[in-house]
Amino acid sequence: MKDIYPTCILLNTLTKRWHPIAFRPYPLPGPSGENHGRYKSIGEHREGFGTIEEALQHINGTEEFRLVGNIYGWDGKDVPAMVEIFGPALEGESVEELTDIIIKSAGELLAYLESHPEETVA
């Protein structure tokens, strides 16, 4: 059985390119070593994609990725390193439902950035 990595999307707010970012389990500090839904990013798609649809197609076409419904703004500087709690969200909506939700959210995020050009991170 292959490992499955929760995967979100970063929007580079400077270039307006979409970058899938995958996560691996990252246990809490301490003696328990239990995960409790905590994940750390393991890398983003460096080039990114020109449209949200292309980014989603890449995620949905990669067997090891599991789309989760998160979009993050990123200023494109430095390497994005993140720790997230996903928990039961991995058991949530179908890929089709998440894809529709993310496309809608992406449109809202782009509209916001266009109306607030002084902001580089959502």
Q: pLDDT tens digits, residue range 31-61? A: 665 556 788 888 777 889 999 999 999 999 9
pTM of the full structure: 0.75
Checking DSSP bridges between strand 65-74 and strand 5-12, what pairing results, if any? parallel
Taking the C-alpha atoms of residue 41 and residue 57, their distance in angstroms, rounded to an integer, is 20
pLDDT of amino acid 33: 57
Residue type, 66: R
Whether pLDDT at 110 is above 60: yes
Taking the C-alpha atoms of residue 90 and residue 106, their distance in angstroms, rounded to an integer, is 20
Are 104 and 57 in contact by the 8 Å Cβ rule? The answer is no
Which helix (H) or strand (E) segment holds residue 67: the answer is strand 65-74
